[in-house]
């Protein structure tokens, strides 16, 4: 690493975990970490669990588990603010030299972390990101839409998104500070990670099924997530709207010229109200569609202009600081 550090400095790795109704998954996660922490030694692991308005005992279970990991925190939101807000809160509170972001359900295998830690120290990269090799175990319709989304957004936006990229990542302090410096309220984290730049090493792994509980995403919430991703990182839909409007105007002018010429040359009476009705409906539809697109961007501007906080904390628990016994735990 380029930073000057004294020889006795022990790296702290903050593990940020957004949790929404994960009381069943958390014990499994910590069990896994009992093993992983040994491999990471002498680096010290501290958790930042973010309870994103869970209806179950996620906070209580989290506190009990985090108590034996010095310097860990459990943030409790006042309600459900969504995974992106939970990630932001976690990154803000993480104090470690490195910050790992992972899901609570073991779909982001903690066993990969030692490898990621090795890479970020040995290679000249500021983050180690992960992507799934395949979408095995996912409903085919969902996979198809996900692929379509990545194709579309990569065509439309300068910010590149990797298909199958997970949020699971190990980041350097520099990288985390850059992500935190982006203050927008509509946070599409995958895009923000890509936007800040820096060299990133991509690790691939086979898809893993959820350990316990159930996924919080419905098809419609994923669709909303996709739309917010596109409107946050691309203004191409607005350009498309303008181009389609322009083309339709041209077509209308040409049609008008054609009708006038035909009337003057052949003396044809203008007839055919059904075709006219179809045209009116078509153009009306196109106008409404693009008004909707415009509205989406306006809504984003409105949302940002309110400058509301991204989350509201109800409670913040910190386990005993581990200054005295760095490297070991209770
Ligand atoms: N999550 C969250 N807030 C939400 C929904 C999900 O913090 O509103 C967390 C959830 O607890 C998990 C992670 O985000 O740790 C990923 O959620 P999930 O497993 O439901 O998503 P999937 O793996 O199906 O994409
Ligand atoms: Mg999951």
pLDDT value of residue 322:
52
- Where does the pLDDT of residue 60 fall: very low under 50, low under 70, confident under 90, or very high at 90 and above? very high
235 sits in which H/E element: none
Ligand 1: which of 17, 18, 77, 84 to mutate, judged by most atoms within 8 Å of the beta carbon?
18
What Rg, from alpha-carbon coordinates, does the chain have?
26
Find the ligand nearest to 138 CA: 1
The confidence band for 5, taking pLDDT boundaries of 50, 70 and 90, is low
How many Cβ atoms from other residues are within 10 Å of residue 252's Cβ? 12
Which atom of ligand 1 sits closest to the CA of residue 215? 20
Mean pLDDT of the chain: 85
Give the containing element (helix H, strand E) for 295: helix 273-305
Compute the distance between CA of residue 120 and CA of residue 113 in angstroms, rounded to an integer: 10
- Kindly give the distance from the C-alpha atom of residue 36 to the centroid of ligand 2, in angstroms, as a whole number: 20
Evaluate: CB of 19 within 6 angstroms of ligand 1.
yes
Question: Which of 161-175, 203-217, 220-234 is predicted most confidently?
Answer: 161-175
One of 3.90.550.10, 3.30.70.980, 3.10.290.10, 2.40.100.10 is the CATH number of 13-217+310-318, namely 3.90.550.10
75 three-class SS: strand
Ligand 1 pocket member 84 (CB < 6 A): no
107 Cα to the center of ligand 2, angstroms? 6
249 confidence band (pLDDT: 50, 70, 90): confident
Q: What is the whole-number distance in angstroms between the Cα of residue 318 and the centre of ligand 1?
A: 23
Q: Where are the domains of the chain?
A: 13-217+310-318, 236-305
pLDDT digit string (tens) for 229-243?
A: 888 878 788 878 888
Residue 100 has pLDDT above 90, yes or no: yes
Q: What pTM value is reported for the model?
A: 0.77
Tokens representing 208 are 């893993």
Q: pLDDT exceeding 70 applies to what percent of the chain? A: 93
Q: Which atom of ligand 1 is nearest to the CA of 22?
A: 11
């Amino acid at each position: 690493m380029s930073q000057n550090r004294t020889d006795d400095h022990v790296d702290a790795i903050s593990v940020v975990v957004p949790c929404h109704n994960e009381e069943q998954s958390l014990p499994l996660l910590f069990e896994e970490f009992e093993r992983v922490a040994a491999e990471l030694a002498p680096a010290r692991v501290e958790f930042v669990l973010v309870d994103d308005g869970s209806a179950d005992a996620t906070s209580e279970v989290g506190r009990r588990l985090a108590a034996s990991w010095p310097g860990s925190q459990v943030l409790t939101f006042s309600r459900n603010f969504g995974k992106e807000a939970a990630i932001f809160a976690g990154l803000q509170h993480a104090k470690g030299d490195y910050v790992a972001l992972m899901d609570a359900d073991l779909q982001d295998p903690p066993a990969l972390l030692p490898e990621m830690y090795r890479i970020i120290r040995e290679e000249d990269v500021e983050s180690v990101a992960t992507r799934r090799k395949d979408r095995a175990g996912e409903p085919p319709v969902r996979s198809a839409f996900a692929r379509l989304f990545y194709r579309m957004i990569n065509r439309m936006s300068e910010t590149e998104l990797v298909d199958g990229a997970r949020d699971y990542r190990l980041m350097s302090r520099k990288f985390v500070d850059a992500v935190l410096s982006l203050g927008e309220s509509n946070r599409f984290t995958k895009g923000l990670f890509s936007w800040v730049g820096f060299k990133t090493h991509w690790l691939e792994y086979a898809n893993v099924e959820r350990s316990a509980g159930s996924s919080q995403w419905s098809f419609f919430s994923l669709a909303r997530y996709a739309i917010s991703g596109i409107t946050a990182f691309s203004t191409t839909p607005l350009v498309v709207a303008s181009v389609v409007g322009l083309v339709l105007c041209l077509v209308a002018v040409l049609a008008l010229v054609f009708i006038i010429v035909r009337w003057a040359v052949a003396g044809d009476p203008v007839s055919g109200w059904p075709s006219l009705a179809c045209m009116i409906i078509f153009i009306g539809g196109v106008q409404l569609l693009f008004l909707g697109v415009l509205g989406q961007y306006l809504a984003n501007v409105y949302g940002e202009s309110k400058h509301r906080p991204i989350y509201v904390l109800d409670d913040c628990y910190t386990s005993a600081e581990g200054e005295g016994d760095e490297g070991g735990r209770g």
